[in-house]
Amino acid sequence: MKARSTTRFSILLAVSTLAGATSAAAEGEVNIYSYRQPDLIKPLLDTFTKETDIKANVLFLDKGLVERIRAEGANSPADVIMTVDIARLMEAKEGGVTQPVADNGAINKDIPANLRDPAGEWFGLTTRGRVVYASKDRVTDTAITYEGLADPKWKGKICIRDGQHSYNIGLIASMIAVHGEDYTEKWLTGVKNNLAHKPSGGDRDQAKAILAGECDIAIGNTYYVGLMQTNEKEPEQKKWAEAIKVIFPNSADRGTHVNISGMALAKNSPNRANALKLMEFLASGEAQKIYAEQVYEYPVMPGAEPSAVVKSFGTIKPDSLALADIAANRKKASELVDKVAFNEGPES
């Protein structure tokens, strides 16, 4: 076991307080490096700790996770990587900061093969749809396609977060996979010219903007709607959710773009046994139920039902496009965002 200084380790933001931890390898602990927001994984980790007495320490990063682990090298305290988006899972694998978990029946049994790496270096845990938030008061449409977002009828009526955000890059990459780069460039330019203002905020902010009358439709992930609808700590978010209806784009043809959240075992995990216990738990039917009921995501376990809240949005028809095809087009998608100056907003 290699000693770690309290100062170095105290940067970890623990779901349960980290005070007293003085080493990367610590009996009864597991260290998670996460792109997932702490409040979204807290219900899972609380349950895991209650059942196992293993304390889950979380370092949340909004960027640079792979670079950080590589810089820490063999002494990295990271045990488990949790992230959103297939590209970030691939980035971790290709960046050399993961290790395979081969033939683990407890993990593999509830995760479909198409949602896990053949070599066992990453595993999908949930799916979420990238949908249209539409004003209940001002939008009568009941069906909208992604392609239709470039229709001039929406000029000045669309809100969206940063075009370079991983959620939007995934959607744009899927458009490239389906339509090609030239079409997608023209489409993205059309969407840009339909924006109400420069991209800003997060997905929840787009619903807030619809309530305020800044725009009529927006792009956001499904689970944020559930989080807004049930937010007791910030009741104003319920009003944002009440102002919108969820429309699943392309339900009549290829289906709605979906992406995944997932996990991987860190390359130099100092608490490997505890890390595997956590990964087995996160892949279990029990955790899938928590994802569905408390995080409002779609569980990946075959036959698992989404929550009643999520069901109230309507039925999702997921796009069957391979996640690998999305990941393969993300660089082009990012380049197109810059090429059309998407983040500068609509031309005057």
What tokens were used for 271? 């608490």
Cα gap 9→291, rounded to integer Å: 29
- pLDDT tens digits, one per residue of 144-201: 999 999 999 999 999 999 999 989 999 999 999 999 999 999 999 999 999 999 999 9
Q: Which pairs with CB-CB distance under 8 Å and at least 24 residues apart come from 324-328? A: 324/86, 325/174, 325/177, 326/86, 326/87, 326/170, 326/173, 326/174, 326/177, 326/259, 327/86, 327/87, 327/90, 327/173, 328/173, 328/177
- pLDDT tens digits, one per residue of 36-53: 888 889 999 999 999 999
pLDDT at 26: 62
Domain 6-124+261-304 homologous superfamily, CATH? Periplasmic binding protein-like II (3.40.190.10)
pLDDT at 24: 63
- pLDDT tens digits, one per residue of 84-100: 888 889 999 999 999 99
Q: Which residues belong to CATH 3.40.190.10 in the chain? A: 6-124+261-304, 127-257+311-344
- pLDDT tens digits, one per residue of 135-144: 999 999 999 9
- pLDDT tens digits, one per residue of 277-336: 999 999 999 999 998 998 899 998 888 889 999 999 999 999 988 888 888 899 999 999
Helices 65-72 and 86-94 cross at an angle (nearest 10°) of 20
CB atoms within 10 A of CB 222: 25
- pLDDT tens digits, one per residue of 220-231: 999 999 999 999
Cβ pair 205, 165 in contact under 8 A: no
Secondary-structure class of domain 127-257+311-344 per CATH: alpha beta
pLDDT at 11: 42
